[in-house]
Homo-oligomer: A and B are copies of this chain.
Amino acid sequence: MDTKKTILIVDDHTLFRNGLKLLLQHYLPDSVIIESSNGEDALLRVTNKMPDIILMDINMPVMNGVEATRKIIEMNPQACIIALTMHGDESYYYQMIDAGAKGFLLKNSKPDDVLEAIKQVCQGKHYFSEEIMYSVIRNLNKSDAEVPDIQLSSRETEVLKMICAGLSNQEIGDKLFISKRTVDNHRASLLEKTQSKNTAQLVMYAIKNGIIEL
């Protein structure tokens, strides 16, 4: 970490950004820190400023971290993106890594962990915080190999959102100009794919997987 680095912080919470910026400036006085409050703005910054490191939150308005990561990696597969997010986003681990993130940190990490992650990723390595590793291993152990390869179709996602909004299958059918029976089928597919046994579990799934906003 001897050369000057440009670090981009992408997070919708101004206070968190400002605090982290100070923190990084304190430990890495030679670095240049820039900020974005959402994924869309981050794309602009990446093309203009060419940051060496990107610290990316996941839950953000306008464009979330997974999508932003995917697009940045599309433009530059070498981009050093480190996910920086909260507990409870477990379902995002795979999505984020799949999108091309080189590291994954939790927001309850220590500053040292952030520095270590930046160091590792700069050297072309990967970095995952202990909690992430633990969670991944626990999931592997849980059910051998049946990795939740769940992929909902766009129509299914659409229906799921309406279910969460409290609409009945009939109402959903009316809104989408399709038969109630078709919605029945989508709902059945959703139950099977998400391994839910009723509406309540379906809603919980949608929330845990960020399909709907709170």
Contact = CB atoms under 8 A, between A and B. Distances in A.
Interface of A: 12-16, 18-23, 26, 37, 84, 86, 88, 107-111, 114, 163-166, 168, 196-204, 207-208, 213-214
26 contacts: A12-B108, A13-B86, A13-B108, A14-B108, A14-B110, A15-B19, A15-B23, A15-B108, A15-B114, A18-B23, A18-B110, A22-B23, A88-B213, A88-B214, A164-B204, A165-B200, A165-B201, A166-B198, A166-B201, A198-B199, A199-B199, A199-B200, A199-B203, A200-B200, A200-B202, A208-B214
Contacts of A165: 200-201
Given A19-B22, A22-B19, A23-B19, A166 B14 contact: no
Contacts of A86: 13
B204 A107 contact: no
B15 A107 contact: yes
A83 to B, nearest CB: 13
A107 B196 CA distance: 34
Contacts of A203: 199-200, 203-204
Contacts of A12: 108
A23 B196 CA distance: 45
Given A13-B86, A199-B199, A203-B203, A18 B166 contact: no
Contact of A22 (B26, B108, B109, B199): B26
A192 to B, nearest CB: 15
Given A22-B26, A88-B214, 18 more contacts: A12-B108, A13-B108, A14-B108, A14-B110, A15-B16, A15-B107, A15-B111, A18-B19, A18-B111, A19-B22, A22-B23, A163-B200, A164-B204, A165-B200, A199-B203, A200-B202, A203-B203, A207-B214
